[in-house]
Amino acid sequence: MTTLDLSRAELALIVLYLNKAEARDKICRAIQYGSKFLSGGQPGTAQTVDKNTSLARKVFRLFKFVNDFHGLISPVPKGTPLPLVLLGKSKNALLSTFLFLDQIVWLGRSGIYKNKERTELLGRISLFCWLGSSVCTSAVEIGELGRLSSSMKKMEKELKDDDELYRAKRQKSNDRTLALIKSSMDIVVAIGLLQLAPKTVSPRVTGAFGFTTSLISCYQLLPSRPKLKTP
């Protein structure tokens, strides 16, 4: 593969990446929370961008609750401990509820649904569901990292570090560590949006954490890069 072919392949991957609704949503999320960080909760252009982008993002999430509802009713891998199963299903249920209620919030804030008080109430309930799902996700990742660590320690006694299976588990461990960092930071974001600790988690802190987790999400959605073969 020549350098030109590699460039074309990378450009094709960028097009493929941007064609994903999830990727566009996370890019918009980065803009949203970046604007929140810049505004610091004060009126102005940055706050306007924050609010408008937040409303626009809800369109990307229409009917997305079906994904987590499917995960809720799907069987789990054999050998998964019961506590992790319950935490995983709780995460699916809470996230599915958040995404479903978020659609009603979008209807209210776009003017289709006229009950403003009900819209704001459902908005807070949905954020509490997202907070709960982030807590469950963090707990699941901690549990899975513990299982992976035990498995890798056993393999270290029998296999070398360059073994393919060992490398795969190490990569999986790195991915789960990144997911744990993201979900833990999202807990702070949810607390900030709900204003549960306004003195500690200010709009600027919420924006900084949200922007960081958005970049992590964008990274997690990146496709594998093509490799240049040497003749």
> How confident is residue 99, by pLDDT bands cut at 50, 70 and 90?
very high
pLDDT of 231: 43
What average pLDDT does the structure give for the chain? 89
Q: Is 178's pLDDT higher than 60? A: yes
Better pLDDT: 47 or 8:
47
Question: Torsion angle of alpha carbons 212, 217, 221, 227, nearest 10°?
Answer: 30
Q: Which residues have a Cβ under 8 Å from the Cβ of 40 and sit 6 or more positions away?
A: 202, 203, 204, 207
pLDDT of 53: 94
Could you tell me how far CA 174 lies from the centroid of its own chain? 16
> How confident is residue 212, by pLDDT bands cut at 50, 70 and 90?
very high
pTM: 0.88
pLDDT of 230: 45
pLDDT of 162: 57
Q: 32: how many CB neighbours lie within 10 A of its CB? A: 23
* 1-29 average pLDDT score: 82
**Is residue 192 a contact partner of residue 41, using CB atoms and an 8 Å limit?**
no
* 118-123 average pLDDT score: 94
pLDDT of 227: 56
* 47-60 average pLDDT score: 91
